[in-house]
Each structure stands twice: as structure tokens, then as C-alpha cells.
Structure 1
Amino acid sequence: MNISTILDMAAEAHGERIGVVHGDMRMDYAAVRERAQAAARAIEASGARYLAMLDVSSPAVPIAIFGAAYAGVPYVPLNYRLTKPEINELLARVAPAYVVVGEAYRGSIEPRDDLRLVSRAEFLALPPAADAPLQPDEDPRAIAVQLFTSGTTGKPKAAILRHENLMSYIMGTVEFASADATDAIVVTVPPYHIAGISAVLSSTWACRRIVLLENFEPRAWLDAMRSESVSNAFLVPTMLQRVVEYLDALGESPKLPALRALAYGGGKMPLSTITRAMALFPDVDFTNAYGLTETSSTIAVLGPEDHRAAAVSDDPKIRRRLGSVGKPAAVEIQIRDESGKVLGAEEAGLVFVRGPQVSGEYESLGSQLDADGWFCTRDRGYLDADGYLYLDGRADDVIVRGGENISPGEIEDVLLTHPAVADCACVAIPDEQWGEAVAAAVVLKPDARVEPAELQDLVKARLRSSRVPQTIVFKDSLPYNETGKVLRRVIRQEFAQCSR
């Protein structure tokens, strides 16, 4: 089954219902399908093998997702926060491509004969197709989405999601046309995040109105929630924390009477934030959704009743569930040690997941599933006796800041360009606002001197602000093992001891 089925069914069941809202623009589901079909014709005529998107959230996003599906090419949203060389390196990997680009980002793309650049305005103004609607490829194994995700080496891997993976996730977690006519969701996560894609797919399947915000800002989010009488929302922990801080600074209640459900995920949620949020929104159902790009989004859920029970319980075992990501959702989860042995309750190890929504596949690298279909998430964690999953960090060295994966290697490469730096290693440290932040341990060359601010400015100039080390310490040497690998675990422990 092709993911275009989601839009077809929504348009046929509730074509008159408003499907997408963006500022003053409002489109019903019949119009979304018409424009997606027009997009598919344009993609087909271009001869492109991919549809790439370099832009913030707008109506072009759902049209591109479904247009690519109708045309039988993968949808490839790109991170517009990347540097110009990074963006063009990724575009070279998907050329020939039909590229929908926001005007603010057109200058980031170097001209190529095998890229067909189309502005957002042009894309949204494509004329309706005069011919019969395109019939999509019904091969469930065809590639629907390709998402670039950073790895420990810094070179982005291209995660592959096939139609069968995404349809399994949607049909296993959402009931068709389950939304009321007045239901709406605000989508604030960027298009290149799996949560942004799953929000479009699941909300369309539910026939829910999708309100798209280009960028997140607490006041704008609250204004949109009120003006559209939004019933559902999804925020990454950093966003929810900013909403809480904004409301507390104003000293007022949220005043969102239509809001019924608020889901969060994409990073570690500080206990203080979720506790305060539940107090500010006492009548709202909170859900913690844990998932990965490679698993087509959510694989574990801590539901509303779990939140309420944990918040009021005096039992430490129940109270601590607010720090879990809940129980498996439509998948199986195991915890294994490094040798592959399945561990018991409360034993920490690597998190493995299995189910039809799990892709575990990368372009060029192929499937990473084991012989029995299990995928190693590279997260570490444990299950308690009742099946609740707790995460205690990444198995690799990726730093997850505000839901964004950051490779320490790319920061280290920049720091090593400074003439005073002999060696360095970057690790994650806990951060109340962002979940994790970057910390750097630096070894200077003999008799060399440099201020931390100078190194921070260097990283900011070469990369971007999210990569700037929050903390820099100078050391005489870094710890290495016998094979020459730096012991990041030891460095993280040293940072933890310094913060006490």
C-alpha cells in the first residue's frame, strides 16, 4: 500500500473538511489532493528521481510528501539549518532531483544541471493536472521517504523508509477519520524531522486539520492554539519548556480551552518541566512518544493515565515512570548486552526493536536488521518489571540537543584547526533547556594559550550556534584505550564530577 492512500481516503471521506492551515491560507482535503496530483505531474515531467524539500513548514510540505508518493519517487526533506557545503553535498547524493526551495534558502544551493529548482510559491501555484490522476506505484517495498541523519562519523546516513513501514505505523496507531470536524493539530517540528512527517501522515489519516507554523516561538504557538481552537499538539521537550517559562514569566494561565492532548518527544524531558506543564494544563492528556527515524516514528508511549498516576503517587516505582518513555507501542522491545544476550528487568543495555514499521535500513549500507528482524537503536536503557522503558543515554557518541543529532567529530575537526589546539574531544553534558549540550575537553600545544570564548567563536563561525560548546575545559591529556580510541565515557564522567 502506498502512503498516497492516506490522502485519497481523507479526500474521499471528508474532502470538504479543511486539511491544511498556514497563515491566511486554508485548503480542504480535496484541494490538497488536487495539488499533490499536480505536483506529481510536474515531478514526473522533470525526470527527477527524488523530490527534495529545503524550506520551513508550509502547505508545500504535505503536498510534497503526497506528490512524491503519487509520482513514485522518494520524498527527501533537508535540514535548512545546515551550512551551504553540507546542503550541496546532500543534494549531490539525490540528484537528479526536483527541489522545492524557500526563497530564504535559494542562495544555499549551487547551480547544477541535474537539479530542477522550484520556489515554494511556484510549487503551490502548479495548475491542476488535465489528465487522469496518476496511479501510484503500489509496491509496498518502494521507498517513500529518505531522511539524512547524522552519525558518529559526522557524515550523514540516508535512512530509508518504505511505504510498508510508514503505513504499518499509521494503521497500527491511528484510527481512520477518528478526528471530529473541529479537531486541529499545530505542527511546529521542522519538515526534516520524522515527527513532522508522521504528524502530516497521521493527522491526514485521522482527517484532522493541520495548522503549520514556520518556526516555533512560545507566543506565536499560543496564539495559533487559541485562534484555531487547537485540540492536539506535539512539542519537543525544549519547546514545551519554553512555553512553560513564557507562561510563568507572564504569571498567567494558558487559556487553551480546546486543547485536549499534548504529546512530546525527540529528546529527554526534564522532570521539572513535565511536572510544571501538567500543573499548568491540568485537563490536558500528556503523552511521551519515543521513536526514531529508522522506526517510522513512535515505538514506545507513556500515556495520559500513566502521567497522572505517576504525578500523584507516593510509590517511588510509580512516581519514577514520569522519567520513562512508557511501554512498547505496536512493536516488540528487548534489552541486550554487548554480546547479544537478552537482559532482564532493571538490567541496562542496548535497546532493540522489532516490528513491521521498523525499517532499520540505510542507503548504500542496506538493512541493519539482524537475522530475526531486530534493529539496534543504539540507545541504552532498561525495562522495569512492568514493561516501562527507561533510557539512560546514547550507545554511540551522538549529542542530542533539542531533538537534533550532533556529531562530536565535526566540532572536533573545527577546534583542531586552531593553531593552539593539539587534541580535543566533545561529549554530551546534561542541559535543563536542551536536554543535552556540547562540552569540549581540549589539550593545548606546549606554551600555547587561548581563551574558551575564542574557540567558541571559531565553532560558531564554521558551523552553527547549536554546535558551540557550552563548556570548555583544558586538560594535560585525553584518556585513550589500548587501540587508540578516546574514552568519551571517562570524559563525560569528569564533566559530571566538575558540575557537582
Structure 2
Amino acid sequence: MNLALLLEMAAEAAPDRVGLVCDGKRWTYGALLDAARGAFELIEQSNAEYVALLDESSEAAVIAVFGAALAGVPYCPLNYRLPDADLAALLGRISPALVIGDEERISRIASDQGHTVMARQEFTLKAQEAVPEPDSREYDPGEGVAIQLFTSGTTAAPKAAILRHSNLLGYILGTVEFAGAEESDSALVVVPPYHIAGISALLSSVYSLRRIVMLPVFSPEAWLDLIAAEAISNAFVVPTMLARIVDALDRGQSSDVSTLRAIAYGGGKMPLTVIRRALELFPDAGFTNAYGLTETSSTVALLGPDDHREAFASGNPDVQARLTSLGKPIPTIELEIRSESGEVLGPNEAGEIYVRGEQVSGEYREKSALDAEGWFPTRDAGYLDANGYLFLSGRADDVIVRGGENMSPGEIEDVLLMHPSIADACACAVPSVEWGESVGAALVIREGCDLPSEDDLRSLVRSRLRSSRVPEKIIFVDALPYNEMGKLLRRKVKVAFSA
């Protein structure tokens, strides 16, 4: 089977139902399928081996993902926030592609790579114009790679994670009821198109026949206004977004949110203070914490609405603690906690999270990460309690997750060590109410050097890396802890920030 089947079923069942709202324009499911078939023609004409998107969320993303599926080529949305050099390198890895989005930037950084480039409006218009006559085309898209997403490259060059049609359909068909949404149901999508959560939200909404409402650029005010204007019933946010929404409401921002029945969140650690306040501010909404990865086609564990409300209202500390959990594995997923030696651990024993199931790809263009029995090592550390609730206890590879963005401590340390007064450096995650995690830096001063100012150190990082990498907290220590093998013990450093 192929992802295009989801849109074909939706268009056949309800061709005149509104399936997408973006920038005030409404698209029916029938019109979306027509445009996807027109996009197929454009892809065929371009001889592209990939369809890439370098743009914010829009109707072009929906048309492109299903057009690529019909054409049997991978859809590859790119992170438009990347620096030019990094983006040019990724574009070079998918040449030749039909690239939709920022024409000026693509021509400036990748003009010699053989791409066909179209602006968003041009692609959308030409896809509508190129719709073939009914029954004049037979589509045989195949069952290969549906989506290719580049990892954040926190420790090395970004890996190309691939999701096959079978992986994504395994997730959708196993978790979503076809045509299960009422015609009035609508989902507000604000996650960037290059994030697996945005892709899964799109696919699940199409299959359930839910109206998709896109908000390309997030602000809490715009989010709340759109909830009221479009009578939104479902929404997905990352923790930093929910924190800003809560703050806006606490500052007096008003909005009619009476239609909002379900709020899902994921992509990073949710601060307990934020989720508790959100449960107070949205008493009629069901909250769901969704834990998943790119390599697993999105969600593998859920903490559902009943669990949220029970934990929020309970006086039992063990039940209260579930608000900080990831919930339980979904029925189509097997999940284990393993030790470093590969032993399967019991309740409340921390180790690495492994998952297995039809939706789990665990595959990269470079190689597969699955073991011989199909298990995928998530590189997340966690444990299952006695009742089967999954708790995240850290990142197995010490990656800092700030607002859903993965960051390598090593790249931050390398910049800090460029300062002449710094002899040793350790970057690690520290708790942040706004971002879930932020960057902390523990520094050792070179003997005989003066103590540098924190402003100078932050300016140094900002000049070399993106602003999200700038340390929020800086401490100075006499020495950093290492084990007998010379490995930096980051967990011990983290303790120093809580002292």
C-alpha cells in the first residue's frame, strides 16, 4: 500500500468536505486529491528523484507529500532554519529534486546541483492546472520510501532517516479510525513541516476526515485567535508552545476555547508546572502526552486524558507522578528497557528504551539501526514503573533537547574552548520552565587567566552557533569529573547546577 491511499479514501468518502484551511483559503478533500494528481504530473516532468519542501506549513506541503507518494519518490521536507552551508549540503544529498519554497535562497546556495525549483504559489497553481482528465492516468506508486527526514546532526553529519509507506500506514491504520471525525471537527497544526509530528498529524487527520487548519508561524495570540475563529476541536503543541499559551492566558489574553476538546503535546520534556496550570486553564480539554521519534513514524507511547485528570486530582504521590510520565506503549508497539549489556530490565530499573513494531523503521540511508530481531534502540534512557507507565530519565547520548530541538553538547563545548581563558568545558541540559531543557555550561579557568565575563562567553557562542545554543546558566568549577577511561561524567556535572 501507499500513503496516497489515505487521501484517495478521504476524497472518495467525502469529496466536498473541507479538508484544509490555510491563510483563509479552504480546500475540499476532492480538490486536494486533484492537486496531488497534478503534482504527480509536475514531478514526472521534472525527472526528480525527491520532492523537497523548504518552506513553512502551507497547502503546498499537503499537495507535495501526496503528490510524491503518487509518483513513488520520497518526500523530503527540509529545516529552513538551518544555516546556508548546512542546508546546501543536505540539498546536495538529494539531487536532483523538485524543491518547493524559497527560490532565492536555493538559487544562491545550490544553483549547481541540478534541482527544479518552484516557489510555493507557483507549485500550487501549476499542480491545479496540471490535473489530468479523469481516468486518463493509472497510478502505480509502489511501496518503497515515502518520507526522508534528516536528523538534527547533533553528533555528526545529519543522517537520512527513511520511513517507508508500510511504516507510516502501520501507524495510521493501527491507531486512527477511518472517517471517525465529525464534519465540524478540526485540527490546528502548528508544528513545522519537517518534524515527524507535523507529518503524522497531517496523515491522521486526512484518514479520519478531520479538517486541518494550519498556522504557519506560531504565537500564543495567533494560536488562541485561530482556536476561536475556526472552532478548533483538536490541537498539537510542543511544550514550549504550551508554556507560552499558558503565560498569555495568565496575562489576561482572552479567547473562546470552548470547542477545544483535545490537546496533544510532545517533542520534549513538559515542565510539571506548565501541564498542571494548563489542566486548570483548559478544564474541558483532554490532554495527551505523545512520545515518539522520527524513526518510529511518530507516537509509540501515550499518556491519555483520563490519566492526566486522575493524576492531577489524586492525593497519591505515585499517581501524581504519572503527570511526568510518557504514559503506556500503544497497542501496536512492543517496548523494553535494556541495560548496557542488553539485559531486559524490570520495573523501576533505568536503562535504554527499545521499541519494535510495524511502524518502526529504524532505518537510515546509511544503514539500519534495527537489531536482528527488529528492535530499535531509541537512545533515550528511561524506565517502566510497576504499572507499566514509561518515564524518561534522560538522553542516552546526553543530547540537550531545548523546545523539541536536539543540540549536541560537544559543539557548544568546542566553541567555549576557543576562549583563551577556558581550559575545560562541559555543556549539559538544565531544567527550563519555558524550554523544557536549556543549556548549562560548567567551565574550568586556565591557570593564570582572569575570570571571563558571562556576557563575553555567551557572545562567543552566539557568534559561532545559533542563538538556541547560548548557555542560559554558567558556572565555574575547579575541575570536571572524568571516569577511569577518560569519559566526562555529565550527570555529575548536572548535579552542580542544582546545588
TM-score, normalization: structure 2?
Answer: 0.95
Instruction: Measure the CA separation in 2 of the matches of 1:161 and 1:52.
Output: 15
User: CA–CA distance in 2 between the matches of 1:459 and 1:401?
Assistant: 16
Residue 268 of structure 2 is matched in structure 1 by 267
For structure 1, which runs of at least 5 residues remain unmatched after alignment?
none
1:451 is the counterpart of 2:438: no
Specify the alignment match of 2:53 in structure 1: 53
| 1:109 aligned residue | 109
2:103–2:118 Cα contact (<8 Å) kept: no
Residue from 163, 177, 183 that aligns with 2:179: 177
Q: Distance in 2 between matches of 1:423 and 1:314?
A: 46
Deviates more, 1:456-465 or 1:270-279: 456-465
Output aligned runs, 1:161-176, within 5 Å. Answer: 161-176=163-178
Correspondence for 1:387 = 388
Determine helix, strand or coil for the equivalent of 1:425: strand
Say if 1:113 and 1:339 are closer, same or farther in 2 by CA, change over 3 A.
Answer: closer
CA shift, 1:211, in A, is: 0.6
Would you say 1:371 and 2:372 are equivalent positions?
yes
- Corresponding residue number in structure 1 for 2:155: 153
- Paired amino acid for 1:60: A
Q: Using the TM superposition, name which of 410-419 and 93-102 deviates more.
A: 410-419
Residue deviations 1:204-232, cap 9 Å, x none? Answer: 00111111111110000011111111110
Partner Cα separation in structure 1 for residue 56 and residue 104 of structure 2: 10
CA distance in 1, matches of 2:193, 2:171: 18
Q: 1:474 to 1:136 in 2, by over 3 A?
A: farther
The equivalent of 1:351 in structure 2 is: 353
Change beyond 3 A, Cα 1:133–1:458:
farther
Instruction: Look up the SS of the partner of 1:338 in the other structure.
Output: coil
Q: How many residues align?
A: 493
| Stretch moving more, 13-22 or 112-121 | 112-121
Q: 1:144 aligns with which of 143, 146, 151?
A: 146
What secondary structure sits across from 2:110 in the alignment? coil
Q: Is the 8 A contact 2:16 2:29 kept in 1?
A: yes
Question: 2:158 & 2:229 partners in 1: Cα distance?
Answer: 39
Provide the rounded CA distance (Å) in 1 between the counterparts of 2:108 and 2:236. Answer: 29
- Using the TM superposition, give the Cα deviation of residue 480 of structure 1 relative to its aligned residue in structure 2, in angstroms: 2.9
CA distance in 2, matches of 1:32, 1:410: 43
Shift in Å, 1:166: 0.2
Look up the SS of the partner of 1:447 in the other structure. Answer: coil
Aligned equivalent of 1:191, options 181, 184, 193 = 193
Shift of 1:173: 0.6
| C-alpha distance after superposition, 1:428-480 (max 9, x if no partner) | 11111111101122334443343221221222222211111112223344333
Quick one: structure 1 residues 107 and 248, their matched pair in 2 at CA, closer, same or farther if it must change by over 3 Å?
A: farther
Q: Note the C-alpha offset of 1:31.
A: 1.1
The corresponding residue for 2:362 is 360
- Counterpart residue identity of residue 309, structure 1: E
- The alpha-carbon deviation at position 151 of structure 1 amounts to 4.6
Q: Does 1:135 align with 2:139?
A: yes
Q: Are residues 419 and 122 of structure 1, via their aligned partners in 2, closer, same or farther at CA, if it must alter by over 3 Å?
A: farther
Give the aligned partner of residue 69 of structure 1: 69
Work out whether residues 55 and 105 of structure 1, in 8 Å CA contact, stay in contact via their aligned partners in 2: no
Summarize the Cα distance change of 1:136–1:412 in structure 2 as closer, same or farther, 3 Å threshold.
farther
Work out which of the residue numbers 468, 471, 490 in structure 2 matches 1:469. Answer: 471
Whole-angstrom CA distance in 2 between matches of 1:437 and 1:107? 35
In the TM superposition, 1:299-338 aligns within 5 A as 299-329=300-330, 330-338=332-340
Letter in 2 for 1:421: I
1:38 matched to 2:42: no
Match of residue 227 from structure 2: 225
Q: Choose which of 234, 250, 266 in structure 2 pairs with 1:248.
A: 250
- Inter-CA distance 461–107: structure 2 relative to 1 (3 Å threshold): farther
Report the aligned-residue RMSD. 1.7
Among the aligned pairs, what percent are the same residue? 55
1:367 partner SS: coil
Match of residue 286 from structure 2: 285
The separation in 1 between residues aligned to 2:27 and 2:253, in whole angstroms, is 36
- The 1:484/1:151 distance shift into structure 2, 3 A limit, reads farther
Provide, for residues 389-436 of structure 1, a one-character-per-residue CA deviation record: whole Å limited to 9, x for no partner.
Answer: 111111112110111111122222333333443432211111111111
The answer as to whether partners of 2:398 and 2:428 remain within 8 angstroms in 1 is yes
CA contact (8 A) 1:19 1:209 kept: yes
Deviation at 1:494, TM superposition (A): 2.1
Partner of 2:99: 99
Match of 2:28 in 1: 28
2: CA distance, partners of 1:49 / 1:411: 36
CA contact (8 A) 2:409 2:428 kept: yes
Instruction: Specify the alignment match of 1:214 in structure 2.
Output: 216
Contact (CA 8 Å) 2:163, 2:361: kept in 1 or not? Answer: yes
